[in-house]
Amino acid sequence: MPEKKSRALHFVELNHSQRVVAAQIISTKPLRAMSVIAAKRPIPQGIYANKNQFYFYMTRYLIERLSWLCRDLRPRVPEGDGRVAITFSRRGGMSYETFREYLRRLKALNDPEIKIHWPVIDIDGVDAQDHSRSASLQLVDAIASSFACAVAPNPYGNCELRYAEILKPITYQRKGNYLSYGVKVVPKPEECGLTDEQNRLIDLFK
């Protein structure tokens, strides 16, 4: 991208051809991608009334899957103490200490519905960095945006599945099951009222 004046990568600023290349390059790297996708229309109004409540709830699903991945890979990754370093892209209005406290409350509940594998989660180590200063966060942005493009219509009303399709080889799965692991849809896909075009993402990962 010789015309770029900054090394910071923002997927939303790339044209289609550049997005395809970015996804192609990411798909060759030794990493795993996972996405949590929410359909907001089926959610009753007022159920998530507190600040960042819905964001925290969705992040819980992501951390569940992240903890499973780290647990599963630990036998093959002897380095370190087995815990994951969770780093957010810094966003305005978000208190990361409040999020750490949220995780502590979840852990204390001992609720079987909360399926986080806690031994690998370093709650005190949860951190945030500026997007422009972290190549890892820019990779995450590209992956998240790739999946968002598959379900969020562009200004012309079309969804673009190709980026998520390119990333399928690195998407987290167990025994071919993607929709419980690397592509979590909330609520269940059949309850989301998805269009035929949006359902192409579900069909891709069935």
pTM of the full predicted structure? 0.92
Q: Within a 10 A sphere around the Cβ of 195, how many other Cβ atoms?
A: 12
Q: What is the pLDDT of residue 46?
A: 74
- Average pLDDT over the chain reads 93
Q: What is the pLDDT of residue 43?
A: 74
Instruction: Kindly report, residue by residue over 89-147, the tens digit of the pLDDT.
Output: 998 888 999 999 999 999 999 899 999 999 999 999 999 999 999 999 999 999 999 99
Q: What is the pLDDT of residue 48?
A: 78
Q: What is the pLDDT of residue 44?
A: 73
Q: At what angle do helices 135-151 and 16-26 cross, to 10 degrees?
A: 120
Residues with Cβ within 8 Å of residue 74, at least 6 apart in sequence: 82, 120
Q: What is the pLDDT of residue 2?
A: 67
Give every residue of the chain whose pLDDT is below 70, as ranges: 1-2
Dihedral Cα 134, 61, 70, 105, nearest 10 deg? 100
What HEC string does 99-165 produce? HHHHHHHHHHHCCCCCCCCHHHECHHHCEEECHHHCHHHHHHHHHHHHHHHHHCCCCCCCCCCHHHH
Helix, coil or strand: residue 67: helix
**Cα–Cα distance between 10 and 99 in angstroms, integer?**
25
CB 118 within 8 A of CB 67: yes
Q: What is the pLDDT of residue 106?
A: 97
